Structure 1
Amino acid sequence: MSDVKSKLFEPTKIGAWNLRTRTAMAPMTRCFADDKTGIVGDDVVEYYRKRAADGIGLIITEGTVISPRGKGNPGVPGIYTQEQVEAWKKVTEAVHKEGGTIICQIWHVGRLTHHELTGGFPPQAPSAIQAEGVVPRFRKPYDVPEKMSVEDIQEVVSQYAQAAKNAMAAGFDGVEIHGAHGYLIDQFNSDITNKRTDRYGGDLAQRLTFMKEVTKAVIDAIGTERTLIRFSALKVDNPYYMWEDPEAAIHTFMEAFKEVGVTMIHPSTMNFTQVLANGKTMHQLVRKYWDGVIVGVGNLDPVTAEQALEEGTIDVAAFGRPLIANPDFLHRVKNGKDLVEYDAKKHLLTLV
């Protein structure tokens, strides 16, 4: 093994998790569950087992919806029925047999969906503002969402907490709350999608109220040591969006996380090395205000990841597409073998 990658292969403990390496499999939507039931099959079991066998430290599943109305793509899995929980048990058992650690990313897409995907119901959102564009893999325009009442909000908060409990019942080691990329939690966080005048609206610190309530409910349900939260400026329906003052926004997010007892965060960006503000990248800005665990992501390669780990900018490096194309990713990196190039046409259609 090359010395340049020694930190990447170092065992570490974050939260309740003893990881074999400082690596993570980033959550990636694959849409291989049964479309009607949200139940995962044996192909998904094998997909995650292979990555665990390779020695990946932390596997974060594809986005897994907390309710029928949280669904935004055909074929995404769920974690809100007993049948879904039972199916996920096969995945977690297979990963654990390989010595791996796996957490479930719990997800609600908010306005980024269509009524034909949500059982006939309109999308849920902080405000009744329609997203531009079409639903990925469904090719129909996003529907006009329904503005959530306070009662709706509290129901969804409870659904997140129940999803976390269901994940533990399915044998997962914890959960990641998907608070990024323009989905429901991030819709509350954004001034573009949140025009509310009640306690869920206002300036950024106030708009983070929903995120804080969800996170606290999940922590109360399963513990902060088993809870990771992902956040971002990036939005799938608005890829060029950026906070007006990135450093101030990041500082506000960090204070919100501290307030509700978060200890592990997953800042998400498309380009890990991009300077965001004041000569620093997103993860460097986060580290300035955060002493807890940081999972880094953003088109990372092993050398860049190693440098960030050495600098202490991040504690765990997450890889996405290279892990789809290379189930034996770590084996290849460790032994200096070439990686298979990710091919969207091939790898989106097959569970390798």
Structure 2
Amino acid sequence: MAENKELFEATGISTWRKLQDGPESKLFEPVKIGAWSLRTRTAMAPMTRCFADDKTGIVGDDVARYYRKRAADGIGLIISEGIVVSPRGKGNPGVPGLYTQEQIEGWKKVTEAVHAEGGTIIAQIWHVGRLSHHELTGNLPPQAPSAIRAEGHVARFRKPYDTPEEMTAADIQELAGQFAQAARNAIEAGFDGVEIHGAHGYLIDQFNSDASNRRTDRYGGDLAQRLTLTKEVLKAVIDAIGSDRTLIRFSALKVDDPDYMWPDPDGAIRTFTEAFREAGATMIHPSTMHFTRILADGKTMHQLVRKYWDGVIVGVGTLNPETAEQALAEGTIDVAAFGRPLLSNPDFIHRVKNGEPLEEYDAKKHHGVLV
């Protein structure tokens, strides 16, 4: 998905200097959320990089250097690229894992590098579900709530999505255990916590959508009932490492249907937040590509979330410092996450603080490289 060009048009020198020259910015103030004492109210959004060894899922020194640079710059919270919880969770060549001891050892180099710079890093734990191909999942069919094939092609693999295998009740229980074990493995690897990837049409979100979930057991039904899998995974992870180290990401956006929106955004968000509370969550990460888009009652997605959620909210969606500052000042979000600007600008925080222009993200230049 292409970055919104307006991001760079809206983040010129005048915006930087307005923040720099005005009252002390909330964006750059320290904050305590959960177990994490962050140097700034900024986060590095999770972005798939595919730089692990494709056969083993182990990351190397280049990945450690990549994250170390962002930590040295002063980003408050680094959320890692998606890390799969099992071999069948893989949806792209070169994605890392967190289910073997060798993978844990590889990640220790990354977390040690980040901590050496005073940073905080959490692992985004992930299972892509039906958005995969048997050649990526050990010659087994992808897993999904129902045997419904997604439309489109596997990113970076250029083959159509396979028809998935409907998960049994035993498969679902195993999945919750895999997420819990990945969370424990993350802590062993030195991560400060985890983010559960429950967004963007991947496996957890596939259970939440009536387009991919046609089950008639307790994992199917209306939205509240379809959220049963989300609650079970969330509870398992919280039981493993604590609610103060667990963040969960959710969205309406689907990788295989980027224009999708809930028919009733206000009602859907209320249902999601009720489920998160029931499972014991205290920190959530609503995800959208359009932070300022009005969804219902004159409110954006994050404003609707704040209507129903008084815990921590990490905001994301082609933010620039000005829109982030406003949302933080209004209390809509507690931490502002930035994505692709950090791929092309390892010194993103320095540039923003000092009124320096950003280097625009260029897919031809920055895709497939670690800066």
Q: How does 1:20-35 map to 2 (within 5 A)?
A: 20-35=39-54
* 2:63 is aligned with 1:49: no
CA contact (8 A) 1:5 1:303 kept: no
Q: After superposition, give the CA deviation of every residue in 1:53-106 in whole Å (9 maximum; x if it has no partner).
A: 000000000000000000000000000000000000000000000000000000
In the TM superposition, what are the counterparts of 1:173-212 in structure 2 within 5 Å?
173-212=192-231
One of 239, 253, 268 as aligned partner of 1:220 = 239
Q: Which residue of 1 aligns with 2:191?
A: 172
Counterpart position of 1:267: 286
Tell me, in whole angstroms, the C-alpha distance in 2 between the residues paired with 1:5 and 1:38: 43
Gaps of 5+ in 1: none
Matches within 5 A, 1:220-239: 220-239=239-258
Q: Using the alignment, how far apart are the partners of 1:242 and 1:5 within structure 2?
A: 37
Aligned in 2, Cα 1:131/1:4: closer, same or farther, shift over 3 Å? farther
**Would you say 1:158 and 2:173 are equivalent positions?**
no
Q: 1:5 to 1:305 in 2, by over 3 A?
A: farther
Match of 1:111 in 2: 130
SS class of match (1:237):
coil
Contact 1:270 1:298 in 2 (8 A): yes
Q: Which amino acid aligns with 2:157?
A: F
SS at match of 1:240: coil
Aligned with 2:268 (options 245, 249, 252): 249
* Shift in alpha-carbon separation, 1:192–1:118, aligned structure 2, 3 A: same
Task: Output one character per residue of 1:173-229: Cα deviation in whole Å (capped at 9) or x when no partner.
Answer: 000000000000000000100000000000000000000000000000000000000
CA distance in 2, matches of 1:213, 1:4: 44
Matching residue of 1:330: 349
Which piece of structure 1 moves more, 287-296 or 342-351?
342-351
Q: Secondary structure at the match of 1:241?
A: coil
AA partner of residue 130 (structure 2): R
What SS class does the counterpart of residue 286 from structure 1 fall into?
Answer: helix
DSSP-derived class of the 2:214 partner: coil
Displacement after TM superposition at 1:278 (Å): 1.0
CA distance in 2, matches of 1:263, 1:348: 34
Query: Alignment length, in residue pairs?
Result: 352
After the TM superposition, which of the residue ranges 342-351 and 214-223 deviates more from structure 2?
342-351
Shift of 1:3: 2.5
Q: Is 1:347 aligned with 2:347?
A: no
1:287 to 287, 291, 306: 306
How do 1:40-119 and structure 2 match up within 5 A? 40-119=59-138
- 1:113 touches 1:142 (CA, 8 Å); kept in 2? yes
**TM-score of the superposed pair, with normalisation by structure 1:** 0.99
CA-to-aligned-CA distance 1:142-193 (integer Å, 9 cap, x gap):
0000000000000011000000000000000000000000000000000100
Counterpart contact for 1:264–1:294, Cα < 8 Å: yes
Distance of 2:320 and 2:44 partners within structure 1: 13
What letter matches 1:191 in structure 2?
Answer: D
Q: CA RMSD in A?
A: 0.6
Write the deviation string for residues 92-133 of structure 1: whole angstroms up to 9, x where unpaired.
Answer: 000000000000000000000000001101000000000011
**Matched letter for residue 293 of structure 1:** V
Is the contact between residue 2 and residue 334 of structure 1 (CA under 8 Å) also seen in structure 2? no
Aligned residue type for 1:227: T
> Cα distance, 1:5 vs. partner?
6.4
| TM-fit CA distance, 1:324 | 0.5
Aligned 8 A contact 1:5 1:306 in 2? no
Q: Which runs of 4+ in 1 moved over 6 A?
A: none
Percent identity among equivalent residues? 80
Matches of 1:5 and 1:286 in 2, distance apart?
27
Q: Are 1:126 and 1:193, in contact at CA under 8 Å, matched by a contact in 2?
A: yes
2:165 aligned with 1:136, yes or no?
no
Give the structure 2 partner of residue 11 of structure 1.
Answer: 30
For residues 338 and 4 of structure 1, do their structure 2 counterparts lie closer, same or farther at Cα, with a shift above 3 Å needed?
A: farther
- SS of residue matched to 2:138: coil
Q: CA deviation at 1:2?
A: 2.9
**Separation of aligned partners in 2, 1:292 and 1:25:** 20
Give 1:4 deviation, angstroms.
Answer: 6.0
- Whole-angstrom distance in 2 between the partners of 1:57 and 1:224: 19
Measure how far apart 1:261 and its partner are.
Answer: 0.7
Letter in 1 for 2:169: V
